[in-house]
Amino acid sequence: MADTLLRLQNVVKAYGNRVLTTVIHGVDFTVTQGELTALIGPSGSGKSTLLNLMGLLDRPTSGLVEVRGQDTSRLDDLALARFRGRSIGFVFQFHHLLPAFTALENVLLPLWSDRGRVSRVERQHAYSLLERVGMADYAKHKATDLSGGQQQRVAIARALVMDPAIVLADEPTGNLDSQTADKVFSLLREFGREKGCAMIVVTHDARIAARCDRVVKLVDGRIVSDERRESTT
């Protein structure tokens, strides 16, 4: 039986002091090893807020967020940041590569942040990830010299360099043409299957959602449907 890597139990997120605005309403959600989940829903439904909670970028107002069996509410901010860096990889719509850094240096950033220095073995691991995403020939190119699709491939390599248990992707194909989007999605699926990590993809692209193992729909901060399906590659 696949291990549960992420569990949300009765998670609520509200903002404000005198007047509270609740964005996420008592969400229960689990994700298992190797599972590829699409998170869909209309704009303003709370998808990004929920992704931030799952990614430990924000804390819930109430409820449990458990990653790899760790109750994250028990971690202080410093311990939470370190745990997040070692457990979760992120792929965003706008890449967030450092423009003055090369492709290889951008992939190495999580390792530098976690350890302060990078070994020869770790550098080779980062380079091998660039090879896997078809970007080895651009390892020494600055991020600004790369196309949008190329930058997204580098971002995928960066998200995987720490061998995370969970990868969260927020509209990772939103700014790409359909052919490049298909290639980027195929890379995510390939790595998820190979590494056994759980992947959660926020998307408005029905074609991408249809290729996932599971489609979860969020409306007004509540999960209104959760369908498992036979995905296609």
How many CB atoms are located within 10 Å of the residue 206 CB?
11
The DSSP code for 143 is: G
Give the confidence band of 171 by pLDDT, cuts at 50, 70, 90.
confident
Q: What CATH number was assigned to the domain covering residues 32-60+73-228? A: 3.40.50.300
* Domain boundaries along the sequence of the chain: 32-60+73-228
Give the confidence band of 179 by pLDDT, cuts at 50, 70, 90.
confident
Q: What is the pLDDT of residues 134-154, one digit of tens each?
A: 899 999 999 989 988 888 889
Mean model confidence pLDDT for the chain: 89
CA pair distance 109, 117, nearest whole angstrom: 10
Q: Quick check: 4 and 30 in contact, CB under 8 A?
A: yes
225 burial level (CB within 10 Å; 0-12, 13-18, 19+): exposed
Residue 95: what pLDDT?
Answer: 67
Q: Answer whether residue 231 shows pLDDT above 60.
A: no
Q: Answer whether residue 76 shows pLDDT above 90.
A: yes
